[in-house]
Structure 1
Amino acid sequence: MTPDPRIARFIEAHHVLTLATHADGLSHCCNLFYAYLPQRNAFVVTSSDKTLHAAHLRENPKVAASVVLETRTVGKVQGLQIRGTMRPPEAEEKAEIKKAYLHRFPYAAVMDLELWVLRPDYMKLTDNRLGFGKKIIWEAQNL
């Protein structure tokens, strides 16, 4: 099930998410460039397997993330909160996922890409342009 088109448009308009992980009693966050695949409702990032968040993901694939529009104008505040799971791509989707990431970030072609896929099961978009504190919520079926 795809999210509300307003959520998808917000995701497409941005390119950095803040990822929060937790494992072994330690929480951690980091910022990652992402490509969004609307047909899969999935975020694709690249990150070294040697990072703390990658170690966390191997222990606990449950994550939270956010994408925000930074502004001081209260009437323009927008932000997306995400919960889901994050894992390396399945073998059959690796080519599509890599192509999508490189389409968004062509300079990454010179990197050794270690791809990860965030599959959301909950997203909440706050969009003050629609009214102060207006929220649009998407939840996956069968949680």
Structure 2
Amino acid sequence: MDKKIDSFIKKHHLLSLATAGERLWCCSMFYAYDEANQGFIVASDEMTEHMGNVLKNAHVAGTVALETKTLGKIQGIQFAGVIQKAEKQSAELYFEAFPYARIMNPTLWTIRLDEVKMTDNTLGFGKKISWKRSFSE
């Protein structure tokens, strides 16, 4: 993954997730970044509308953005990927980032990042950096 994108993702912890089912739905979620697998780990109950959508259609999209009114400081990413229930090693990353969540025994999910586009105005107005996962065997 591009170093600027990777660095930006590591500095933040809240994403907006969009899902598609019977209707479009979105939500905000805390995330832990799984750098080794280039993805997010999130927590959510299957009974929510967005997770109900995910159980029917695992393709998701979303954003992570720096909240600023200063045009020259605007940074953020848009992403597309696939979500699935997390494996045990992912859980440890999530609970390391959010230790208090362990008490709630949440259902954890991983979002495999397949494509990321970053806007970074600190590099010049409207500067874009793109990355796509290689699926070569």
Give the TM-score range, shorter chain: over 0.9
Aligned with residue 49 of structure 1, among 46, 50, 53: 46
Q: How many Å apart are 1:59 and its aligned residue?
A: 0.4
Note if 1:75 corresponds to 2:68: no
Give the equivalent residue in structure 2 for 1:12: 10
TM-score (norm 2): 0.96
Following superposition of structure 1 onto structure 2, how do residues 88-107 of structure 1 map, counting pairs within 5 Å?
88-89=85-86, 94-107=87-100
Give the equivalent residue in structure 2 for 1:141: 134
Q: Percent identity?
A: 42
What runs of 5+ residues in structure 2 fail to find an aligned partner? none
Summarize deviations over 1:25-70 as a string: whole Å, max 9, x none: x000000000001101010000011100110001000110100001
SS for the counterpart of 1:87 is strand
Give the equivalent residue in structure 2 for 1:84: 81
Note if 1:129 corresponds to 2:126: no
Q: How many Å apart are 1:113 and its aligned residue?
A: 1.6
What is the letter of the counterpart of residue 52 of structure 1? Answer: E
Give the equivalent residue in structure 1 for 2:20: 22
Structure 1 stretches (4+) deviating beyond 4 angstroms?
none
Aligned with residue 120 of structure 1, among 98, 105, 113: 113
Note if 1:66 corresponds to 2:63: yes
What runs of 5+ residues in structure 1 fail to find an aligned partner? none
Distance in structure 1 (CA, Å) of the matches to 2:96 and 2:133: 27
Q: How many Å apart are 1:142 and its aligned residue?
A: 3.8
Q: How many Å apart are 1:88 and its aligned residue?
A: 0.7
What is the letter of the counterpart of residue 67 of structure 1? Answer: V
Q: How many Å apart are 1:95 and its aligned residue?
A: 2.1
What is the letter of the counterpart of residue 19 of structure 1? Answer: L
Q: How many Å apart are 1:140 and its aligned residue?
A: 1.3
Q: How many Å apart are 1:8 and its aligned residue?
A: 0.7
